Structure 1
């Protein structure tokens, strides 16, 4: 199994896809790889050494790999369509996607790299369009493609082929069923998945700067700590809808490392990041206080362990 995973991870790297370890028999980043998009690599020596040490499943970071993956899922046991969303004959993500293609007068894009997932779903791999940055979608929310269809782009990852996952909702191995190189994402899908125009950015003066956060004890921060905290506050406060949790988690992870070195007190980081996340909420579609607190805590904890 370990040899198969090493070979599969090296095959991804040879294709230019950035990989990182997932939990053995699972589909989530291995502990210590909170910043998986930054950790993902195509270095064959690093990949060989790591996977020889531990037979982890394979995660493919779509953003740095310049991929958009369309995930056509199958219903989980006992799962039924929400009221008003049931359509006769459309029981799987592939059914829904084929119907979407027909409605747009487009062929089903089968001639591309394809993986069959552990529960009989399908991952269709495409090269990302150069002129548009595509993130992730889920089902028919926002600009999603429909029920039982997710997409993964920048900020997202997929489980790579040869990974074996055993979870309560299904057990199986991800298998390549069409090894042809990924085709360019069809233009009509790129247009459909493109995020809506971002509203005008709020003036920089309305975003919190470290000097504006009167509740912080600035005297306890070194010049380096002050600069690091200020930079992360700016990034979190300006994070767009859909990318806020990722920006907040990454900031908390980076600052958690500084906390462990005694550069910045933990309570200062927590209060500063909370204020920055609340400022991002002012742009609309707010994250809840509980969600913000959970993301900050998880990021700091992971950073302090790194």
Structure 2
């Protein structure tokens, strides 16, 4: 029995998943994730307990992949962190005033020479713009996050908190194509050391006082505030959203006072945060409003 050929983009998604690399849909002919953003999250369906970023939605389940890619000709995103990958993105020169400066490939070669190492042989993809993606297996036990220009100009990396466009995906400017199908090599030690995050001071969780409430509600408030204050860079917005929605249920039942929750979450969100307090307060307000509206209030005794 012969099977009908799989559409190319579905095949690209399944091929990546078969390698153990979780995938998620990108907009057709684009490299932006499909679906809604955190700012426009309806708080329903898969996001009922908080907005799910593409990294959290990525899957290797072939049934889910077939269901998604038979709906529309999505391009394919690979969630590099969950895939156990660190991808080095070597960009090209795009502006006239960049002429005479090294592109990403030239800068990476220079970095390798400086480290006394050859350019690693590994799985390699040509991007639609003519750049290259070098795929490496990330070291065990280390969560290397995505970087932009940390190694050198025109060199970015994609790890936790990021993604790459999978080969087989197509943009108006061209396609992503495998140019070296060599097995994915382990990330070289010298490169891993250059990408390891500097030790940061531990963020102190702010103290707050709550009124008369149950031990359970107080513990829930403290735990959610701790999660927000200690959330990693790039995840604070989604962590805050989930925390506010969880605590909104306790406001709806009368177990917590809204003003106390707002003050506590606002203080936790701005500990070492990069956004303004007004931005976080807006997230808190919208999330609490949604949670209170979608949860039953305490019934009269």
TM-score band by shorter chain is 0.7 to 0.9
Aligned to 2:40: none
Q: Determine if the alignment matches structure 1 residue 159 to structure 2 residue 165.
A: yes
Cα offset, 1:70, TM superposition: 0.3
Cα offset, 1:257, TM superposition: 8.0
Instruction: Please say if residues 62 and 158 of structure 1, whose CA atoms lie closer than 8 Å, have aligned partners that are also in contact.
Output: yes
Structure 2 residue runs without a partner (length 5+): 37-50, 292-301
Aligned to 1:293: 280
1:190 & 1:267 partners in 2: Cα distance? Answer: 45
Bigger radius of gyration: 2
In the superposition, relative to structure 1, how do residues 49 and 148 fare at CA in structure 2: closer, same or farther (>3 Å)?
same
For the aligned residue pairs, the C-alpha RMSD in angstroms reads 3.5
Instruction: Please say if residues 55 and 79 of structure 2, whose CA atoms lie closer than 8 Å, have aligned partners that are also in contact.
Output: yes
Aligned to 2:53: 35
Pairing partner for 2:224 from 228, 232, 239: 232
Report how many aligned residue pairs link the two structures: 269
Cα offset, 1:31, TM superposition: 1.7
- Higher mean alpha-carbon deviation, 126-135 vs 226-235, is at 226-235
SS in 2 for 1:245: coil
Instruction: Please say if residues 240 and 284 of structure 2, whose CA atoms lie closer than 8 Å, have aligned partners that are also in contact.
Output: no
In the superposition, relative to structure 1, how do residues 213 and 131 fare at CA in structure 2: closer, same or farther (>3 Å)?
same
Cα offset, 1:273, TM superposition: 3.6
Instruction: Please say if residues 256 and 299 of structure 1, whose CA atoms lie closer than 8 Å, have aligned partners that are also in contact.
Output: no
In the superposition, relative to structure 1, how do residues 300 and 238 fare at CA in structure 2: closer, same or farther (>3 Å)?
same
SS in 2 for 1:38: helix
Cα offset, 1:236, TM superposition: 1.8
Pairing partner for 2:194 from 192, 198, 223: 192
In the superposition, relative to structure 1, how do residues 104 and 289 fare at CA in structure 2: closer, same or farther (>3 Å)?
same
Aligned to 1:119: 129
| TM-score, reference length from structure 2 | 0.75
Aligned to 2:144: 134
Instruction: Please say if residues 135 and 154 of structure 1, whose CA atoms lie closer than 8 Å, have aligned partners that are also in contact.
Output: yes
